[in-house]
Structure 1
Amino acid sequence: MQKIYGFDYLRAICCIAVVCLHTNIPSLVLNFKNFYNIIFDNVFCLAVPIFFQISLILFFLNRQKEKNYFFQKRVFKIIKLYIFWGIFSSLFSCFTQKEMYLNYLSNLRDIKNIMNFIITDGYYNPFYYFFSLLFLTILAELFAFYIEKTQINNQLICYSLLIYSCIIVFLLPLSVIFMGEQFAMLPQAFNPLNFTPYVFSSFVISNYLSRNQQNDNSELNIKHVLILIILFISFAIFEWKYISHPFLWGGEMNPLPVYSRVSLVFGAWLITLISTKITSEPHFLIKLFSDLSLGIYCLHTFLGLLLIKFFPLTPNTDVLLLFFLMIVLATLLTKFLKNFQIFKDLI
């Protein structure tokens, strides 16, 4: 299997986009509220869905080469990531925000709070990624196993499940709007159901890559690209018009639910599909950020909290400086830790 250069570009761009989100870089254009909202909700929020989609595409492609890939390699690696970063974040919270963290633990008395703790991998929401990735990978393995055992057209099954999963994502925010706050947990960013459509869109892209040699000169199907563009724009317009309720989703500057949006499914699909046609090897910096993207994703939040705690930085006024320091420090620390064998699969 040839190298898919486009995935290096996407990993690098998406890990930078995540840091941009967490340092609130879009606030630099806060005077242009509509532009701010589009950049935040329709551009930067594509980063995590694209990460999921890349991981799932590579899972399907590797599974074609190694039938036991799920059990022999993939599932245990994700579990290790989940356990390691969950323990690390709990210890970090205990030392830096002890009172707040212990108060949080004291509320783990009912099944709802326990479920939240498990899904978010402890106290830090960014690590919901690992639980969701484990959930999606198990779902992808079950789907691929079923496809192998059935004689029904796999494209028909895939697109049927894709539509069904998109309907679920579509209904998540509507359940809160029409049925009340007892359903408030459903459209939260950490809900794995937000990301189920990416299993099936990834299967479609992996089939496309299997049929067409990666990085060749064949052209994308323009009709498919146009359909994805139309679906992305149409659902984005619907979301802004009908589910934009700022105080339901977290305040005036958060008018939409983070990931419970069908537009992100088609946006991530479109961008990932286009990236597969990139034929040029990435620049050194792009390759660096791509190779270190997992570590940057995991470490930047801790580094940001330490910077704010020990230096006179405020997340509202020093966003560019905070962004620069978080990127540089997370990159250097990840590069350093990768020199140790124990961290190679964890960072």
Structure 2
Amino acid sequence: MISHDEHRLDVEVVGIEEVALGVRAVHLGRVDGTDLPPWTPGAHIDVQLGTLTRQYSLCGRTDDLATWRIGVLLEPDSRGGSQFVHGLRPGDKLAVVGPRNNFILQPAAEYLFVAGGIGITPLLPMISAVEAQGLTWRLLYGGRRRASMAFLPELEPYGDRVLISPQDEDGHPDIEGALAQCGPGVHVYCCGPEPLLAAVEERTLTLPAGSTHVERFRPRAAEPGAAADTAFEVVLERTGVTVQVPADEPIVDALLRVGVAVDTSCREGICGSCETRVLEGVPLHRDSLLSDEERAANDTMMVCVGRSSTPRLVLDL
């Protein structure tokens, strides 16, 4: 999963659209006017917003290297990132890192896309990609009300392959009904609030392993009965340095004490910037990003939140 083929660059706001009630699409271009890095459906960028860093999915056209588009919901009760974005004006400068893709569109015979609210953003370029390939797909798109559901005009040309399900009209999205229309070999891609993700994960348990893909905005809730954190040691394979990690300190902070800086952004286990290879030992995964199969392999971890199930971890650092 580790790639880290990302770029740090300066961009400016080149356009702004109000695409739904409380949702703003921001178009970004490089300050020097050169092409932006290429990206694939599902990719996101890290955007520096004053003292905050936030991750936003790219939701424009993958063949447009002049501009990137992100969609941002205004959340008055958030920690300030969305308010910052909704205060941007054309010409404002921003620093970004990326693109990075932890939500890769895998080859499949058929696709079911399930979006909740602003979770539609990473799915838009996926839909464009599978449509261009002539593949079978459907979209179930839920939201609180139709007026707050972004990018509806872009979805109209797809006709009945798109089911719009505003909660004030239809209640909760009919996930089981959408799945019932799918054939064997379907892959399900879902992005949205945690209750929707949990519902999709529950209803797709009978699908083959690796068929369900979700992307979270916020960390997964801690599992009930999780073991208390304990101290352990981390060995840095490339230098041979051994670092003691106390029970109350993240691995990334312990590494900083010995002068080793690992890229971090969210520090919540959702962005993937600190993903690190594990060479020995068994990590205790606390992220909301790795799949069950990737967790079971125990060959990579997010060192911002992950810990160790064994007294010693050897990392590829």
Name the structure where helix makes up a greater proportion of residues: 1
Q: Same fold (TM over 0.5)?
A: no
Higher relative contact order (CA 8 A, sep 6+): 1
Q: Relative to total residues, which structure has the larger strand share, 1 or 2?
A: 2
Q: Please report the TM-score for the alignment, with normalisation by the length of structure 2.
A: 0.25
Taking structure 1 as the reference length, what is the TM-score of the superposition? 0.24
